[in-house]
Amino acid sequence: MGLGIGHPRCTSSPYAVSNSNPDPNNFRVLEEKAVGDYLMLLVNYPNCTNFEGDKILVFKSFSSAKELLRFTDNKLDPHFARGQTAPIARFPPTENGKAMCMWFLYCLNGGIPK
């Protein structure tokens, strides 16, 4: 039996992590690398629990974290959204994820990494 339309309560999965949304005001940039017109950031959100709060984010038209943060009033939201300051891609914060991200960046710039 399912919930009808307009049902007042809907419970989430028992496996969901409560209050694990990253706070755009509470983060540390751990690593950055610019490749052409794209910027890769490894960011830690201390209030996040998945992957210990680490996220690999890709931005277009920025060459440094400092430049990006000037546009965002020192906020960094890892969620996809419309607008110049939203990430265009995310990768798992692992060595494999970092390698995939770098491959992606080099391919976007017309080259194949060696």
In whole angstroms, what is the distance from residue 17 CA to residue 74 CA? 26
> pLDDT by residue (tens digit) across 25-72?
999 999 999 999 999 999 999 999 889 999 999 999 999 999 999 999
> H or E segment at 107?
helix 95-108
Give which of 96, 82, 100, 94 is closest to 42, Cα–Cα. Answer: 94
Q: Where are the domains of the chain?
A: 28-108
Report d(CA 59, CA 112) in Å as an integer: 19
Q: Read off the pTM.
A: 0.80
